[in-house]
Amino acid sequence: MTDHHAEALRWDGQSLFLLDQRRLPAEERWLPIPDLETAIKAIQDLVVRGAPAIGITAAYAAVLAAREHGEHAVAWMKDMARLAEARPTAVNLRWAVQRMIAVREEGGDLDALEAEARSIHARDVAANRAMARLGSSLILPGSGVLTHCNTGSLATGGVGTALGVIVRAWREERLTSVYADETRPWLQGSRLTAWEFHREGVPCSVIVEAAAASLMREGRIHWVITGADRITANGDVANKIGTYSLAVLARAHNVGFMVVAPSSTLDPDSPSGDEVPIETRDSGEIWRTAGLTEPLSGIDAWNPVFDITPGELLSAIVTERGVLRPPFTESAIRAAAGR
């Protein structure tokens, strides 16, 4: 598959740059990230988002912090603790930080830390390609697919997870139609996923989330394909809010549900989704989507970023190590995670 994908981040050996995803698709603006504090704020403010891309960003941020602190390992470790908590749900962030800490604890210097960050980045690129191949092979010719949120190059280091599968399936002429949820309140589907499909030359129809059930009822959808921010030992999936709803609808309409995520997203140390912290954000994000600066007096909003989809609702979990099928077991998840 020829890569025409966008990039979420760039590292030139000295500096980190992030494509400001808050401004897409109207403006492609690259922000310099000179230090750890700027990196943490960029992660929290959704300049960069998507679990794999956040993990890669964290790895390079650890290098920037090491340059700032020099030999002061205690100060660097305190920074790593803050970095790991920048967004609590996505396990790739903590995984990447732990990888960088392991290098430092083994006596690694600044060059070793940078080499590890580059390795994390390169591994994600390779994993994306492997997942695209494996996931596409599950889709029969003549299928229609629906995806949620954004899971392409903007969320990863390479061609993407779920979006990478869809792009490859389109080029292999397996698909007749592609749909993308708007994905409120940040509209990652209509702003980012549609933009990526346009760049890749894949025709796509954007729908509001409430239209998904009707699409399935009319028989237009054969697979729902999403990414994941964390997959627990029993196959439960933490992903963008709305994923659970789609999984329930898919089961009711006999539609396949595929989760595509690198092995770094697997968290066999968490028994189930009940143990996953769910990030909630400012309710003002909901009002701003409607063009309001503030709600009516006495009116509040609830704004969780993620939800938990039970593993029993999945048809397949695709990682770069292979395809997992239900029922999911801790031993299978642990093996797929390389532990």
Residues identified as active-site: 229
- Other C-beta atoms closer than 10 Å to the C-beta of 96 total 30
d(CA 170, CA 198): 13
DSSP one-letter string for 162-220:
HHHHHHHHHHTT-EEEEEEE--TTTTHIIIIIHHHHHHHT---EEE-GGGHHHHHHTT-
**Residues 6+ positions from 215 with CB-CB distance below 8 Å:** 144, 146, 179, 207, 221
Please measure the distance between the N-terminal and C-terminal CA atoms of the chain and give it in whole angstroms: 30
Quote the CA–CA distance of 49 and 151 in Å, as a whole number: 10
Angle at 252 between CA 248 and CA 253, to 5 degrees: 120
Give the Cβ contact number of residue 17 at 10 Å: 15
